[in-house]
Amino acid sequence: MAVSIGIEKVVKTFGAFTALKEVSVAIEPGELFFLLGPSGCGKTTLLRCIAGFHTPDAGRILIGERDVTSLPPYKRDTGMMFQSYALWPHMTLAENVAFGLEMRKVPKAEMRRRVMEALERVHLGDRAKKRPNQLSGGQQQRVALARALVIEPQCLLLDEPLSNLDAKLRLEMRGEIRRICKQVGLTAVYVTHDQKEALSIADRLAVMRDGVIEQIGTPEAVYRTPVNRFVAGFIGEGNFIEGHVEGTGAGGARVATAFGVFSAARVPAGIAAGERVALCVRPESVRFDRPAADAPNVLRGRYQQSVYLGEVAQHMIDLPANGEVCQTFKAFELNPLAGRDRAGEPAEVWVEPEQVIVTRC
């Protein structure tokens, strides 16, 4: 049965450096939960605290109803999957997967059954007698996943498990990990710096910075309604235009910028007139069709560069203010009809108010 994971005001220091600053999060049973953030933000430290490799200086960690804060890793009933496959090269796949069961003194008949079930689950049942060097990187990672699953843990902890795979294998394994976690009914905590990885398979994710959690939510909520400029810039790409709020109301907000007054359909709670904000415009939300005379949020400039990528053309547009180029704006033209470079040509694009994200600076 899937279990919840509770992290309550966890603090972890290394000498004078505080890696985690009273971090709290509740992970639901059966949830695939991602910890995301730049290097040094504390995501791996938090995962290692859950696993038992680090002991918090303050706070509690619960797995289900058990307080495991002071328990060693082998008493926490968790499975761990690392960046490296960490497979024994002299052992067969079946022997690698069985290793944790041998440490637990599982009877041989049950061990054989569970090993084969685990290998079948990752589609490697016919390779049980092969050795790791006879497999591709993706297959080796499947073996590492089977080894983590075979002990039937209450939760699965994954530390950037796909970072050593090429792009094609990463895409393949993303879906496999989600499929297996849902099939088995496992609660999983997954650390990554790959935004697309998190957005594509997470149930919920937490964005971390400097030892604190900036935002927790579903991938769509974090992408569409980031709580601040840091989250908006870390999850996906964004153009940021600073300005001050002229007014707010039922229709959203009006924000004065160097490029004119912008209309935004949504405004975060607590933002009032006169406040300094940063508008985030995702490159894919820019419209290239000719705006109507009364269209909102029209940007006029000049194409600096155009790159044709097949399904999308990536344009860099120089935006002038006071007669000088003061910002370069990135825009994606989806399904472009022509691949020509527009460099030097005038540009006129616009953004619907629903696509303008207002963030705190």
What mean pLDDT is predicted for residues 144-156? 90
> Over the chain, what is the mean pLDDT?
92
User: Which runs of E-coded beta strand occur in 43-144?
Assistant: 58-63, 66-67, 78-81
Question: Does residue 84 have a pLDDT over 80?
Answer: no
Question: Does residue 321 have a pLDDT over 70?
Answer: yes
pLDDT in tens, 224-258: 999 999 999 999 999 999 999 999 988 899 999 99
What mean pLDDT is predicted for residues 140-169? 87
At 137 the pLDDT is 84
Question: Does residue 95 have a pLDDT over 80?
Answer: yes
Lowest pLDDT segment from 57-66, 152-161, 209-218: 152-161
pLDDT band of 339, cuts 50, 70, 90: low
pLDDT band of 345, cuts 50, 70, 90: very high
Q: Give the position of tokens 């953030």.
A: 37
pLDDT in tens, 57-72: 999 999 999 999 999 9
Question: Does residue 318 have a pLDDT over 90?
Answer: yes
Query: Max Cα separation, the chain?
Result: 80
pLDDT in tens, 294-312: 999 999 999 999 998 888 9
pLDDT band of 325, cuts 50, 70, 90: low
Better pLDDT: 180 or 10: 10
Residues in a beta bridge with 79: 156
- The tokens describing 9, both together, are 């005001």
- At 127, give phi and psi (nearest 5°): -115, 15
**Maximum average pLDDT range among 163-172, 226-235, 315-324:** 226-235
Question: Does residue 54 have a pLDDT over 90?
Answer: yes
DSSP symbol at 341:
-
What burial letters (b/e) apply to 96-133, b meaning 16+ CB within 10 Å?
A: bbbbbbeeeebeeeebeebbbebbebbebbebbeebbe
Give me the percent of the chain exceeding a pLDDT of 90: 71
Whole-angstrom distance, CA of residue 284 vs CA of residue 332: 5
Q: Output Rg (C-alpha) for the chain, integer angstroms.
A: 25
At 245 the pLDDT is 96
pLDDT band of 141, cuts 50, 70, 90: confident
Question: Does residue 28 have a pLDDT over 70?
Answer: yes
Catalogue all structural domains in the chain, each as residue range(s) with its CATH number. 5-226 (3.40.50.300), 237-360 (no CATH)
